[in-house]
Amino acid sequence: MNNILSERINNLAVSQTLAMAALARELKQQGKDIISLSLGEPDFNTPDFIKEAAKQAIDDNYSTYPPVDGYLDLKEAICTKFKRDNNLNFTPNQIVVSTGAKQSLYNIAQVMLNEGDEVILPAPFWVSYFEIIKLSGGIPVEVPTSVETNFKITAAQLEAAITPKTKMMWFSSPCNPSGSVYSKEELTALVAVLKKHPNIYVVSDEIYEHINYTGSYCSIGSIEGMENNTITVNGVAKAFAMTGWRIGYIGAPEFIAKACTKMQGQVTSGANSIAQRATKAAVEADPSQIKYMVDAFHKRRDLVFGLMQEIPGFKLNNPDGAFYVFPDVSDYFGKTLRGTEIKDATDFAMYLLAEANVATVTGDAFGSPNCLRLSYATSEEQLIEAIKRIKDAVS
């Protein structure tokens, strides 16, 4: 069959986050007592005020094709949000609303990259960046980091990765999977390098912006000199517990926004009308309205970080945001646990699934082959039990 399918699809890797989540679901259906820490998905319900806006939209007959780039009043609300939270100045013609931040990222790759263009990816990076870039003809250039440097790149590393073919850099802060948050000072140091290369564009994926325990947040696009070179990506999936509603958006230089709209107009049209109305309520809300969820994630972070430090051979950073821990488990590579040889993080993840009934995601998927990603967006009870099982399985 593979010779019938396109080379494009044959060369595309399966999303390992979704694959592990599907495997965990399947095992659960077979009656296994699996705890899934694989998928990055809040365990909260969408807040009532957002659900009410969607119900109202149905009654108000928001049932026809919406504008391809999003309703004007939603784009205006997004501009206000960008100013309020990020000190970013956009007008509605610079905003494109899409079917999830994933489509926003895909649009960007499709409209920005030519065959052979290089895209710098500080590793670990979110799993889909790599494949989306490849799918669009780009060449991902990984810049490795480690737990010792809190998984952040330095200006010197960025400088060394730039070649005449570098077109873009993509990163997330808070980072999925490491939870690292770049401070204003750290971003300013990267900007000093980028300013020497005005043809390089940055994708700043800020989807975990509100799930940040540092007390401050800086968007790279708000740093002087970056306003015309940054595409800021955001969405409602994580902070508003709206993963299934499928809305993401960008703020970008107008010519890029227009190009994304043109692309989207041929492949999906405007994003779901009811979900757009719900998103308007979400982005207009004061962030204090979702604080109860952020506080819960913060508490779980403390719990998980504390418990995981007790597992021998797990080296981890204290993640400042998002809802993942990303331990370096390379101490186990080359060892045999209960008759299973652990060569790499993928073996380790499969071992934990089989022996501990805990689903995690291999760091390989994120460009950090020494690590394992665990999502703590689940109840404290489940987290305590999962970590106990992992500890037992490696002892």
The tokens of 273 are what? 């009308």
Of the candidate spans 14-22, 65-73, 110-118, 378-386, the one that interacts with ligand GLU by CB under 6 A turns out to be 14-22
Tell me, by CB under 6 A, how many residues bind ligand PMP: 13
Name the helix (H) or strand (E) containing 394: helix 380-394
Q: Enumerate residues 169-228 that contact ligand GLU by CB under 6 A.
A: 176
Among 102, 134, 167, 280, binds ligand PMP (CB under 6 A): 102
Asked if 101 is part of the footprint of ligand PMP (rule: CB under 6 A), the reply reads yes
Q: How far is the CB of 125 from ligand GLU (least distance, A)?
A: 11
Burial class (CB within 10 angstroms; exposed 0-12, middle 13-18, buried 19+) of 237: buried
Q: Furthest-apart CA pair in the chain: how many Å? A: 62
Of the candidate spans 15-23, 87-95, 134-142, 149-157, the one that interacts with ligand GLU by CB under 6 A turns out to be 15-23
Burial class (CB within 10 angstroms; exposed 0-12, middle 13-18, buried 19+) of 298: middle
DSSP state of 356: H
Q: Enumerate residues 28-67 that contact ligand GLU by CB under 6 A.
A: 39-40
Contact 211, 239 (CB under 8 A): yes
Residue with tokens 């291999």: 362
185 torsion bin: left (phi>0), alpha (psi -120 to 50), beta (else)? alpha
Of residues 180, 172, 191, the one with CA closest to residue 125: 172
* Residue 14 or 160 having the CB closest to ligand GLU: 14
For residue 172, the partner it binds in ligand PMP, ligand GLU, none, with Cβ less than 5 to 8 A by kind, is: ligand PMP
The rounded distance, in Å, linking the Cα atoms of 134 and 140 is 7
Asked if 322 is part of the footprint of ligand GLU (rule: CB under 6 A), the reply reads no
* Residue 21 or 120 having the CB closest to ligand GLU: 21
Q: How far is the CB of 284 from ligand PMP (least distance, A)?
A: 18
Q: How far is the CB of 367 from ligand GLU (least distance, A)?
A: 13
Q: How far is the CB of 72 from ligand GLU (least distance, A)?
A: 28
Tell me, by CB under 6 A, how many residues bind ligand GLU: 8
Cis omega (within 30 of 0) for bond into 174: yes
* Residue 102 or 277 having the CB closest to ligand PMP: 102
Asked if 317 is part of the footprint of ligand GLU (rule: CB under 6 A), the reply reads no
Positions touching ligand GLU (CB under 6 A) are 15, 17-18, 39-40, 127-128, 176
